[in-house]
Structure 1
Amino acid sequence: MKEIVDYLHQIEEEMVDLLEQLVCYESPSTRPDLTEKIGRYLSNIFIDMTGGKVEKLFSDCYSTHLKAVWGEGDKQLLIITHMDTVWPEGTLEVMPFSITDGKAYGPGTFDMKAGIVQALFAIKTLKELNIHLDKKIVLMMTSDEELGSPTSKDYIIEEAKKSDGVFVLEPSQGKEGALKTARKGVGTFEIRVHGVPSHAGIDPEKGASAIEELAEQITYLSSLTDLEKGTTVNVGLIDGGSQKNVIAEDAHAVVDVRVQTKEEMNRVVPLIQNLKPHDPNIEITVTGEIYRPPLERTDDIERLFEKAKSLAHDYLGIELIEEFTGGGSDANFTASLAPTLDGLGAVGAGAHAHHEHCVVSEMPKRSALLALLLIEYGK
């Protein structure tokens, strides 16, 4: 175990070099041509570093996803990462890769290209130190996570069902680098209201305002928020109407929904889906869903965290803590299918923000923690 830790500390510079290369491959989710480029690069890197195999998993509208396999065995452990970022092409011109005060800055450093680096080097370490596992390692590198994983979701679920453990390399939380053992479920709903247009000055009584109806519905939707239960219903976007002197025929809203438990999901979703108009002359259409179910802390997750905490204390001198987060990840899909531990990626801050960065000295430690977990559960 100590040899693993020492080896990764010795090659910290190699980890930083690879991180810089990945950051310089700009990879916004909505640019399949760019995510395809970083995918080709990562395929070659994985094969060179580990001697493993890479399979392309195709997507209808985004870039291909990668399923990289190292080792052999009838059983497997699953590592989940994503190649895409929220940053548009050209961001490097104003946010170039740089290292200041031991922190690596640049688009995607924290979320989650440092996580990819840590996963690759954890596997490389097992190979270089001739550590044999009884289970194969499957590393998923997807290209649409920041969009909710619409095309990679089914691939992830398929692999999770075959896995004895799932390790998600999303960034850790806070300056302490907390792991994530619970996440809210996340959903998006669109409300479309169709009314009856008329002249606002001449025939106001003949109209039925879609905007007024939507305003009533927004008040109701907002009332569904229950902070004690961890439920939030946020109407984040609205639009409607055509002219100031026309009773609005159409109005539209986009709603973000977050729920902490499946019980709350089952309560809130039907209330949103079954909205009824106050005015009989108006029609309401609701579309959308909870696209990431809640990740609730289970006994399996608790045991997995406690093992990680023990390994981190004994071999890395880290006192791991766990936290709950309101954001979603691919761990939301896997937690009900296999023991899942999330937040094993970079330590840093600024996901989706201009100060995004990871702490360089933590990269070999977190990579070592993943390697230790793979050994622990790979026997």
Structure 2
Amino acid sequence: MDASALDTLLNWIRTESPTHDVAGVNLMMDLVVAQMADAPVAVERLPGKEGLGDALILRAGPERDEPAVLLMSHLDTVHPVGTIESDLPLRVEGDRLYGPGIYDMKGGAYFALEAFKDVARRGSASRPMVFIVTPDEEIGSPTTRPVIEDIGRRSAFALVTEPARDGGRIVTSRKGVGRFDVHVEGRPAHAGSRHKDGRNAVYEAARQILAVEALTDYSRGITTSVGMVSGGTAVNTIPQHCRFPVDLRVETVADGERMTKALLGLAPSSSDFKVSVTGGMNRPPYERSAETGKLFEHAKALAAEIGFDLVSCDRVGGGSDGNFTAAIGIPTLDGLGIDGDGAHTLNEYGLISSIAPRRQLMTRLLETLR
């Protein structure tokens, strides 16, 4: 990776862009627009919705009426503004580049955009190319999913620049993701003088959480998790309300439907409480199809020509925008971003040495996918 490209990537990392920081996310989109200014790339900017940042649709390649190669990257991160100044400072230690969002997924987005631009300049694309750059993947892509699915249905292949896994492995299947919100209502009372009159919503929520966690079945690849709980108003008051979200991961559509029914059907332990549940599957399972298998073998052969061995990993627990394209039948390769580790942590880093070969692979995919 040359010094100029590294400087640009460092500037990307300095531009902190957590999902709900519209200014930061839109500044990242500005940087992408500037990156494409001297290339034959048509840029469409979609104004942000629901208090989120803008999205970009980039188009290049032959102007033929045929399905395109679709690339997808997101530029929102999970780290709050200020992380780079304190908890995760930008630094290079040997081959490791540390910083918020470098691994998930600004490193992969940057080199994929460079490959896209280079192929556009040379006119060497095998098909029309479309690149969707999104602002909201880290919260489930609520505003960009319709765009992804609409363009996906008119695409031949989808390439996703989420980070590589487990030493550079590519992703060819992911679990589906469900998100649910549970509200428990009890009866408020003074914790001292009227304790027996109260019905503790937090206590009932604890019962419900035990039931939710018991739905986990590792043998089927099903996990349920409650990571946050909110309830009560004061230490000396029997709480009337308690709320908690549920994270669901499944391997198959059928299990997603079954688990959705179970979670939406949570019932109170007695008539003294009310339990209401909303939500559903946020991302459908991304199952490895025969066509995705062929796409992987093509990528593996290209990687061998470049000089590295491309290996696929087992089904990944986390979701991505690749779940959407795979679910509508588009052959999808994910994990095409840089190698590294520490996504969503304060030890996040990318391996600088992985950037050049991965960029070459992306270039060759854009030039050869027929």
2:169 touches 2:310 (CA, 8 Å); kept in 1? no
Q: 2:15 aligns with which of 22, 25, 50?
A: 25
Distance in structure 2 (CA, Å) of the matches to 1:156 and 1:254: 26
Distance in structure 2 (CA, Å) of the matches to 1:255 and 1:225: 12
2:106 equivalent to 1:113: yes
Q: Secondary structure of the equivalent of 1:286? A: strand
1:204 touches 1:247 (CA, 8 Å); kept in 2? yes
2:359 equivalent to 1:370: no
2:134 touches 2:144 (CA, 8 Å); kept in 1? yes
Percent identity over the alignment is 35
Letter paired with 2:213:
S
2:131 equivalent to 1:142: no
Structure 1 residues 295-374: aligned runs within 5 Å: 295-337=286-328, 338-374=330-366
Distance in structure 2 (CA, Å) of the matches to 1:35 and 1:239: 29
Gaps of 5+ in 1: 1-10
Shift, 1:243, TM fit: 4.4
Distance in structure 2 (CA, Å) of the matches to 1:245 and 1:53: 61
1:194 touches 1:250 (CA, 8 Å); kept in 2? yes
2:150 equivalent to 1:161: no
2:199 equivalent to 1:208: yes
Distance in structure 1 (CA, Å) of the matches to 2:124 and 2:236: 75
Shift, 1:15, TM fit: 2.9
Letter paired with 1:86:
V
Structure 1 residues 87-236: aligned runs within 5 Å: 87-94=79-86, 95-128=88-121, 130-175=122-167, 177-200=168-191, 203-236=194-227
Distance in structure 2 (CA, Å) of the matches to 1:201 and 1:43: 62
Letter paired with 1:111:
D
Letter paired with 1:280:
S
> With structure 1 as the length reference, what TM-score do the two structures score?
0.91
Q: 1:249 to 1:73 in 2, by over 3 A?
A: same
Shift, 1:164, TM fit: 0.3
Shift, 1:268, TM fit: 0.7
The CA deviation string for residues 287-320 of structure 1, in whole angstroms up to 9 with x for no partner, is 1222111111111221111111121113323243
Residue 265 (structure 1) aligns with: 256
Q: Secondary structure of the equivalent of 2:171? A: strand
Shift, 1:22, TM fit: 1.3
Q: Secondary structure of the equivalent of 1:47? A: coil
Residue 69 (structure 1) aligns with: 59
2:60 equivalent to 1:47: no
1:165 touches 1:339 (CA, 8 Å); kept in 2? yes
1:313 touches 1:320 (CA, 8 Å); kept in 2? no
Q: 1:280 aligns with which of 268, 271, 279?
A: 271
Shift, 1:162, TM fit: 0.8
Distance in structure 2 (CA, Å) of the matches to 1:310 and 1:123: 20
Q: Secondary structure of the equivalent of 1:196? A: coil
2:16 touches 2:81 (CA, 8 Å); kept in 1? yes
Distance in structure 1 (CA, Å) of the matches to 2:100 and 2:324: 26
Letter paired with 2:78:
V
Letter paired with 1:349:
D
- Bigger CA drift: 153-162 or 207-216? 207-216
Alignment length, in residue pairs? 365
> With structure 2 as the length reference, what TM-score do the two structures score?
0.93
2:46 equivalent to 1:57: yes
Shift, 1:339, TM fit: 0.7
Q: 1:368 to 1:259 in 2, by over 3 A?
A: same
- Bigger CA drift: 319-328 or 199-208? 199-208
Q: Secondary structure of the equivalent of 1:166? A: strand
Distance in structure 1 (CA, Å) of the matches to 2:363 and 2:7: 20
Shift, 1:115, TM fit: 0.9
Distance in structure 2 (CA, Å) of the matches to 1:199 and 1:90: 42
Distance in structure 1 (CA, Å) of the matches to 2:252 and 2:222: 9
Distance in structure 2 (CA, Å) of the matches to 1:46 and 1:363: 19
Distance in structure 2 (CA, Å) of the matches to 1:201 and 1:14: 68
Distance in structure 1 (CA, Å) of the matches to 2:104 and 2:362: 17
Shift, 1:248, TM fit: 3.0
Cα-Cα RMSD: 1.9
Q: 1:206 to 1:140 in 2, by over 3 A?
A: same
The CA deviation string for residues 143-186 of structure 1, in whole angstroms up to 9 with x for no partner, is 111111111111111111110000000000022x0011111111
Shift, 1:325, TM fit: 1.2
Distance in structure 1 (CA, Å) of the matches to 2:237 and 2:25: 46
Distance in structure 2 (CA, Å) of the matches to 1:47 and 1:245: 62
Q: Secondary structure of the equivalent of 2:227? A: strand
Q: 1:278 to 1:127 in 2, by over 3 A?
A: closer
Q: 1:99 to 1:202 in 2, by over 3 A?
A: closer
Q: Secondary structure of the equivalent of 1:182? A: coil
Residue 4 (structure 1) aligns with: none
Shift, 1:59, TM fit: 2.3
Letter paired with 2:91:
S
